[in-house]
Amino acid sequence: MTLNVLIVDDSPVMRSFVKRVLKMSGLETGLLLEAGDGKQALAVMQEHPMDLVLTDINMPEMNGEQLLRTLQADAVLRKTPVVVVSTDARLDRVDQMMSLGASGYVTKPFTPEGLRHEVERVLGVAHV
Ligand SMILES: [Mg+2]
């Protein structure tokens, strides 16, 4: 299964890092698209069906929380699994994002193995 992934982060450096780690993870990736905030992410998702969204929380315009709320309100887009990628490791923060509709959570910094493990768990498959 080839994964089309949307990477959402306001930091271009972090987007490049996530992209590189994804490629090193052993996950079979297809389209790797980027967005700098939630609004851009929604625009990309309207054009390209994604298999997975990896999103930061703190971003201008539309943050990760608002992105999750907006996706959940959309009958089609809510089906795309979202994994939050954040430096915030507090359990109440993780719980909050999961209750808003996130399927997974990865804490920065993370390893290729850590990312792969969480993506596979979210997608419910042993080998992607
Ligand atoms: Mg940020």
Question: Ligand 1 centre from 67 Cα, in Å?
Answer: 13
Regions of the chain where pLDDT drops below 50: 128
Q: 3-123 in CATH: which number?
A: 3.40.50.2300
Q: What is the pLDDT of residue 35?
A: 98
Q: What is the pLDDT of residue 105?
A: 97
Q: What are the DSSP calls for 47-107, one per residue?
A: HS--SEEEE-S--SSS-HHHHHHHHHTSTTGGGS-EEEEES---HHHHHHHHHTT-SEEEE
Residues around the ion ligand 1 (C-beta < 5 A):
10, 56, 58
Q: What is the pLDDT of residue 43?
A: 98
Question: Ligand 1 centre from 75 Cα, in Å?
Answer: 27
Q: What is the pLDDT of residue 126?
A: 55
Is residue 58 within 8 Å of 2, Cβ to Cβ?
no
Q: What is the pLDDT of residue 1?
A: 75
